[in-house]
Amino acid sequence: MSEVRRGSAAIQEAAKSSGGGEFKPFLRSIYWGEDGQEHYLLFLNDIEELPLFDMITYIPTENGFFQETVAKTSPPFSERKDDFEDEWSYAPSERNIAIAVELEPVVEVTKRGGKTQRKPRGFEVKTIEYERRIFDDDGEATGETEEVVAPAVGYISQSPNNFFNQVANYDAKDAPITETALKITRIGKDISTTYQITGYDEMPIDLSNLIGCIDGVSYLADDLDDLIEEIDGLDEREAALCIGKRLLALREAELLDPERYEELFEGVTEPAKFGKKKKSAKEDKKATRRGTSSRSKASKAAKDDDSDDPDEPSSDPGPTEEVEAKPKARAKGKAAKQTPADRMEELKARAAKAAASRK
């Protein structure tokens, strides 16, 4: 297999060339589903670490969510055809993936000229609270649940043509994306979509919720003890990057998993409804009969189309973690009472005990 395309060079190359019941842990998606939607966030991967794949997107699943996978025609597979495209008319589209954590502004309220102004003076990691099913040592559900507090960490899957090219440019010209709070806002819909980036490079970011509540991210369940050992003794910034690196590796492996690909493919029962769709033979014949001017327009439209999915669902298809967010006031139990620092000390003790038992 060839190597995975990765980093800012791959982003820029793609942008130029295109114009513009078993328990399975899930990693939530950070997604901009509507015009004007915004997220404050911090990237947890360096721009040079971001892989670039040709992805099959908006694959429906039984649980009502959408999933995506790497097309077989994409590096590192580089096969001659993809089953989703060949049988169900899913057209691959280029996507970078990255890990980020959502932030909340710490707001300072001031009055000036009789008007109240609210300005951020820093940021903290956003948390979510939900009920998680409890499983026994054999992976079987016990029927019980626990209250969990988790950092709002997730993955971003977006085009290099209207999203990650801007992120890469900001990283190169303004400030490192792994050190700077960013507000990213979606502007427009369909092929007209762009993203506006506002950076807060002078403002501090409190990462204690990310580190102290990391055990609430079910996607890390099998790797948690090793991760705690790895970040023990690191400062917050270094620990955050370790978390991002491990989550990106897990998500990348999941997207490249051939068994997952086959499982998703076997669940499809009808042609693609959203995202880029492969043209039918009849449509190709019509395109062939068009004049030079029409072909030129079609070529431009195809390039524009790759910048964002023109037929994406009206509602956010992104979240893939089975959680029920709850207001903080309703949180109960140990997870809600502990501070992030206390929780981290408990996790360190557990990781040390696990390491000792392996010796």
pLDDT digits (tens, 9 = 90+) for 129-168: 988 888 787 778 888 888 889 999 999 999 999 999 999 9
Backbone angles phi, psi at 259, to 5 degrees: -70, -40
pLDDT > 90? residue 109:
no
Average pLDDT over residues 227-243: 95
Instruction: Give the integer Cα–Cα distance in Å for 145 and 28.
Output: 19
Q: Which residue has the higher pLDDT, 192 or 324?
A: 192
Predicted confidence at residue 337, as pLDDT, reads 53
The pLDDT, as a whole number, for residue 219 is 93
Task: Name the CA dihedral angle for 307, 310, 314, 320, rounded to a multiple of 10 degrees.
Answer: -50
Buried b (16+ CB within 10 A) or exposed e, 238-271: ebbbbbbbbbbebbbebbbeeebbeebbeebeee
What percent of the chain lies above the pLDDT cut of 90? 55
Domain ranges, ordered by start, for the chain: 5-349
318 has pLDDT over 60: no
| Spatial distance between the Cα atoms of 254 and 250, rounded to a whole number of angstroms | 6
**192: phi then psi, degrees, rounded to nearest 5:** -90, 0
pLDDT of residue 112: 80
Least confident window among 10-14, 72-76, 212-216, 322-326: 322-326
Distance CA 137, CA 155 (A): 28
> Two tokens at 278?
């492969």
What residues contact residue 295 under an 8 Å CB cut-off, 6+ apart?
Answer: 287
CA atoms within 13 A on the CB side of 101: 34
